[in-house]
């Protein structure tokens, strides 16, 4: 029987035939595709023809298509719908992929060809985009260790392989802790919880096979519990389990893994001649240096901490009025902040949530893309990897643009958080290739599914990433879509969040789940008025995480990451009632892979731009100003990584922004 992962996909839009793929297909397909890619690379490296852009750089662009097909399917399902078989495969694949990547980047014959083309670049008639691809390819090989020799070369391969193993272990340990822990609730323990939170707890209990409702460590369940439960003892128990993910001792403890990862990254950077891993990592980002990152974060830390401390005093007084003469604790903050929000803004999340139906918010995100960029969405009936998934064809003026897949609900086999990935990137070489893009979220199921305002913002955020992938219009897949500097990649996603707060969008799409009536004007005004509520807390928990990440990678690797974390927080004067958004043992952004290592700051770097970019629409007089939307697509959304990020932003806005728009947007300006 033919392995469906290795055969041509005669399916609508050449989508993966998920209904024909089983877990048993992955190992054989992976091994065959890996061997095929090695042969393709070797043929390029050992070619008798003189090196040229076509026979080397473009040949590398198309090599590995079969491997990419296998991995795009595998990593999509292993991240969003894991099981023991897929976890075992991931542990097997990760070191082999790392070794394969290291072999390519250390291939002296291949690097010799790339270097020859690079050295002759001024004599070649290359387009601007080809020059960019050549530069990125050459730089990537140098930074990957291609110029290393002897023992250093061998050690770099060992480091890359070990980091791949550790990143997989970190991720799977975290998933295991999140999957295994739950707290049963008696009927009396549901007191004070709104209907949506009760429904989510009952649904989670059914999934866990428990005899009644439970609280799990899914953010969409535990955060509402911390917001609404009057039971301080249960809030403390739930919060401490949430905070302890990856630090519970035993086989799933991530603390030693984090320490080894940091030591290996430091060694890797020094092999390449850098003073620190942060120096190595930030060289290719907009920020360029650790000093620039620290400057931004500290510019925001002062105002945020001052706001958080003032808020903490108010919440403490509210707690004392309740007869609890204790210090405000992390498991108290959300509960009293919610009570305060209800009192000061007369905004009750339980009353708000019926107006934020998942289906209507999906419609809203699509409608904004239609008004801004002329996109149309038609739902598809195609096999996908899980029954919860939905798919749409995206078109413009009747022409196919992309396929968009949404996987919105939390489940035990899905890692926490939300993300966007491309199962297939956009390209025009060697043929026109429409992207296949997935948004994965962790919303609570319901009938209908209702979102918190934060959930709705997450939906818009991830769809902003999807637009960056879908509207890409470049020649080479290696620079398409979100293949940009890490501190630029969050600009389109965070910018798109702004359209959720456009009054006309909420007025049309925020309709009540039972009555169908639009959100009352008074509630709409309260929602928008409370948009910056509790920003001291949100900013402090984020910036603290970013500063700890930077400190981990800025100098010599700490022998004890937990001690280093405590030291950084003490130096900052971290408010006692706020914890890091992601403490070290569950800081997957930083330790599951290299993606956001030394780069967690990038959300805020991008926010400086997104606040300023949305002001361009406001200055034009409309959130849907057509000329500004065209400029946004032309200079940012369609260009991928074909031009340096700061140049792209200057083409759109005429200048680079300062931090003022961010502080104003968060309500932290003096």
pLDDT in tens, 261-306: 999 999 999 999 999 999 999 999 999 999 999 999 999 999 999 9
pTM (two decimals): 0.92
Distance of CA 47 to the CA centre of its chain: 39
> What residues pair up with 422 in beta bridges, in sequence order?
437
The pLDDT, as a whole number, for residue 661 is 84
Q: What percent of the chain has pLDDT above 90? A: 94
Does residue 191 sit in the same domain as residue 140?
no
Q: Which burial class, exposed, middle or buried, applies to 165 when counting CB atoms under 10 A from its CB (0-12, 13-18, 19+)?
A: middle
Structure tokens at 404: 């968009």
Q: What percent of the chain has pLDDT above 70? A: 100
Residue-wise pLDDT tens digits, 136-185: 999 999 999 999 999 999 999 999 999 999 999 999 999 999 999 999 99
Strand segments, DSSP code E, in 137-281 are 182-184, 214-216
Assess if residue 667 is contained within a domain: no
Assess if residue 609 is contained within a domain: no
Does residue 234 sit in the same domain as residue 336?
no
- DSSP alpha helices (H): ranges in 244-288? 255-271, 277-282
Does residue 22 sit in the same domain as residue 130?
yes
Q: Among 568, 600, 632, give the residue marking a domain's end.
A: 600
Strands 182-184 and 214-216: antiparallel
Residue-wise pLDDT tens digits, 97-140: 999 999 999 899 999 999 999 999 999 999 999 999 999 999 99
Confidence band of 347 (pLDDT split at 50, 70, 90): confident
User: How many distinct structural domains can be found in the chain?
Assistant: 3
Assess if residue 70 is contained within a domain: yes
Position 329 pLDDT exceeds 90: yes
Pairwise CA distance, residues 283 & 280, whole Å = 6
The pLDDT, as a whole number, for residue 595 is 87
Does residue 236 sit in the same domain as residue 267?
no
Backbone φ and ψ of 214, nearest 5°: -140, 155
Assess if residue 446 is contained within a domain: no
The pLDDT, as a whole number, for residue 355 is 97
Distance of CA 113 to the CA centre of its chain: 35
Does residue 260 sit in the same domain as residue 238?
no
Q: Which domain holds residue 126?
A: 12-105+107-147
The pLDDT, as a whole number, for residue 21 is 97
Does residue 199 sit in the same domain as residue 129?
no
Does residue 235 sit in the same domain as residue 339?
no
Distance of CA 76 to the CA centre of its chain: 14
Q: For the chain, what is the mean pLDDT?
A: 96
As a whole number, mean pLDDT of residues 50-79 equals 97
Does residue 241 sit in the same domain as residue 274?
no
| Count of Cβ atoms closer than 10 Å to residue 145 Cβ | 22
Does residue 132 sit in the same domain as residue 186?
no
The pLDDT, as a whole number, for residue 83 is 95
> What residues pair up with 402 in beta bridges, in sequence order?
394
Position 600 pLDDT exceeds 90: yes
Q: Among 565, 600, 635, give the residue marking a domain's end.
A: 600
Q: Cβ distance 218 to 410 under 8 Å?
A: yes
Does residue 45 sit in the same domain as residue 118?
yes
Residues annotated as catalytic are 462
Does residue 237 sit in the same domain as residue 292?
no
């Amino acid at each position: 029987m033919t392995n469906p992962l290795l055969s041509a996909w005669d399916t609508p839009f050449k989508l993966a035939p998920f209904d024909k793929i089983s877990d048993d297909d992955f190992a054989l397909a992976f091994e065959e595709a890996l061997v095929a890619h090695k042969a393709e690379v070797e043929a390029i490296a050992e070619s008798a023809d003189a090196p040229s852009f076509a026979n080397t750089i473009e040949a590398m662009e198309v090599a590995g298509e079969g491997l990419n097909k296998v991995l795009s399917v595998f990593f999509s399902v292993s991240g969003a719908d894991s099981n023991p078989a897929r976890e075992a495969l991931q542990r097997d694949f990760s070191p082999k992929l790392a070794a394969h990547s290291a072999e390519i980047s250390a291939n002296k014959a291949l690097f010799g060809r790339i270097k020859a083309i690079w050295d002759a670049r001024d004599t070649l008639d290359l387009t601007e985009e080809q020059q960019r691809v050549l530069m990125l390819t050459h730089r990537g090989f140098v930074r990957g260790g291609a110029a290393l020799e002897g023992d250093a070369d061998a050690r770099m391969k060992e480091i890359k392989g070990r980091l791949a193993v550790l990143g997989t272990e970190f991720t799977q340990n975290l998933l295991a802790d999140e999957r295994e822990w739950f707290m049963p609730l008696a009927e009396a323990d549901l007191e004070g919880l709104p209907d949506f939170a009760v429904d989510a707890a009952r649904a989670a209990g059914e999934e866990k096979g428990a005899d009644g409702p439970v609280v799990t460590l899914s953010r969409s369940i535990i955060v509402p519990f911390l917001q609404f439960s009057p039971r301080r003892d249960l809030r403390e128990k739930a919060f401490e389990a949430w905070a302890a993910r990856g630090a519970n001792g035993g086989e799933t403890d991530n603390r030693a893994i984090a320490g080894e990862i940091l030591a290996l990254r430091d060694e890797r950077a020094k092999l390449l001649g850098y003073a620190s891993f942060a120096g190595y990592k930030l060289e290719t980002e907009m920020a360029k240096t650790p000093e620039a990152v620290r400057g931004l974060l500290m510019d925001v830390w002062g105002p945020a901490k001052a706001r958080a401390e003032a808020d903490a005093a108010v919440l403490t007084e509210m707690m004392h009025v309740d007869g609890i003469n204790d210090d405000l604790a992390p498991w108290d903050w959300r509960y009293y902040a919610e009570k305060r929000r209800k009192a000061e803004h007369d905004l009750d999340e339980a009353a708000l949530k019926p107006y934020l139906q998942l289906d209507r918010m999906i419609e809203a995100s699509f409608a904004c893309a239609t008004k801004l960029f002329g996109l149309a969405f038609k739902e598809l009936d195609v096999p996908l990897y899980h029954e919860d998934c939905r798919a749409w064809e995206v078109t413009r003026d009747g022409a196919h643009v992309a396929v968009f897949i949404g996987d919105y609900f939390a489940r035990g086999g899905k890692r926490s958080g939300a993300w966007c990935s491309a199962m297939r990137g956009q390209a025009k070489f060697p043929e026109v290739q429409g992207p296949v893009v997935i948004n994965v979220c962790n919303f609570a199921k319901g009938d209908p599914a209702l979102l918190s305002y934060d959930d709705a913002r997450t939906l818009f955020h991830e769809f902003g990433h999807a637009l960056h992938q879908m509207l890409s219009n470049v020649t080479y897949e290696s620079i398409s879509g979100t293949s940009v500097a890490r501190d630029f990649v969050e600009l389109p996603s965070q910018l798109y969040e702004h359209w959720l707060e456009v009054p006309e969008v909420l007025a049309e799409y925020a309709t009540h789940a039972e009555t169908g009536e639009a959100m009352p004007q008074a509630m709409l005004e309260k929602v928008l008025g409370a948009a910056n509520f509790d920003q001291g807390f949100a900013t402090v928990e984020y910036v603290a995480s970013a500063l700890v990440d930077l400190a981990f990678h800025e100098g010599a690797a700490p022998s004890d990451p937990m001690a280093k974390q405590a030291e950084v927080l003490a130096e900052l004067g971290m408010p006692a009632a706020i914890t890091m958004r992601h403490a070290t043992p569950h800081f997957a952004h930083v330790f599951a892979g290299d993606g956001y290592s030394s780069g967690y700051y990038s959300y805020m770097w991008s926010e400086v731009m997104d606040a300023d970019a949305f002001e361009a629409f406001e200055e034009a007089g409309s959130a849907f100003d057509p000329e500004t939307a065209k400029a946004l697509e032309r200079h940012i959304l369609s260009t991928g990584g074909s031009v340096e990020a700061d140049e792209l932003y200057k083409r759109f806005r005429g200048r680079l922004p300062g931090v003022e728009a961010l502080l104003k947007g968060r309500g932290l300006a003096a």
